[in-house]
Amino acid sequence: MLNRTKHLNPKLFDADVEKKYIRDGFGQGLLFAGEKNRKVVALSGDLSDSIRLTQFKERFPERYFEVGVAEQNLATVASGFAYYGKIPFMTSFAVFSPGRNWEQIRTTIALNNVPVKMIGSHAGIAVGEDGATHQSLEDIALMRVLPNVTVIVPCDYEEAKKTVHEIVEHNKPVYMRFDRSKVPVITTNDSPFKIGKAEILWDSSNPVVTIIAIGYLVHNALLCAKELEKEGIQILVVNNHTVKPMDEELILGVAKRTGTIVTVEDHQIAGGMGSAVAEFLAKTYPVPIEFVGVDNKFGQSGTPVELIKHYGLDVESIKKAVLKIIKRNQKPY
């Protein structure tokens, strides 16, 4: 059942559940951050409207910087701001940043450990009709391998606002990733959020599988858990929003509790959140794992709903992975 201590949206399973853009939550969070802290500045690579910087740049024009279509320059300018005491939010589509400017991020931001907040919007296949060239499926892998960089993937509008609030005070480089589409609002203003602290959103008395999800697919994981409960299969669902540093204590605890894991993400399986979970458990408490994600493919044009189903990220695909891992766990190793 839903974990009542997490104060989730009571209507999240309704057919008419409220849907909002996660990027709107980021924009609101940035506006609030700018009002509270004059050190906050925003930089854009000619995508301010898409990434919801409009309110910030209208309220604080002297703290908004348009770099243009020059993502490598975007990273180096942001690093300079951070080096001299500002809190820069550098924003672009994930396919361009970190996709196009990874070396500059590595050298001028991560290596120097300066607190640039790197925002990658329009990530994953849910970008939809823009197609493979604009569907970043590799960005988590690119960013989590960099020393000093924190990687966060909020699940909805509310969590995006909270992420901005937290990372302003987080004196390290941060990569924040979110998608393009309107998605269900899962959490509320009262839901807990802390960097590095995963949350069990669906709990059970005798769970047999843990689903660990990130981003908007947390909602699909919860829908799957609700369906399986009707079939007598008890599940845990974890919102693992901080991919790095991961909540190792909680991940270890759920692995011991259920003995099987299914990871869910709109990203390449290789190098993504699921890989991070597997790397950790391989060293501490090896258990069978199934990975729901994009399996060594590029994206393509289509509606988000069509693509989520085609690439096996829908509720039915998560359910199949759960049933598969249960069957695997019944066999002797």
CA 95 to chain centroid, in Å, comes to: 15
Catalytic residue status for 158: no
* Helix, strand or coil, per DSSP, at residue 81: helix
CA 35 to chain centroid, in Å, comes to: 25
- Give me the helices (H) in the chain, please: 22-36, 54-59, 71-83, 102-104, 139-144, 157-168, 217-230, 248-258, 273-284, 304-310, 315-329
Three-state secondary structure readout of 111-138: CCCCCCEEEEECECHHHCCCCHHHCECC
State the Cα–Cα distance between residues 222 and 104, nearest whole angstrom. Answer: 38
Q: Measured between alpha carbons, how far is residue 108 from residues 73, 87, 90, 119, 267 in Å?
A: 11, 15, 13, 16, 26
Facing residues of 118 across strands? 90, 175
Residue tagged active-site, from 62, 66, 71, 248 = 71
Nearest residue to 116 via CA among 191, 162, 159, 170: 170
Instruction: Just list the catalytic residues.
Output: 71
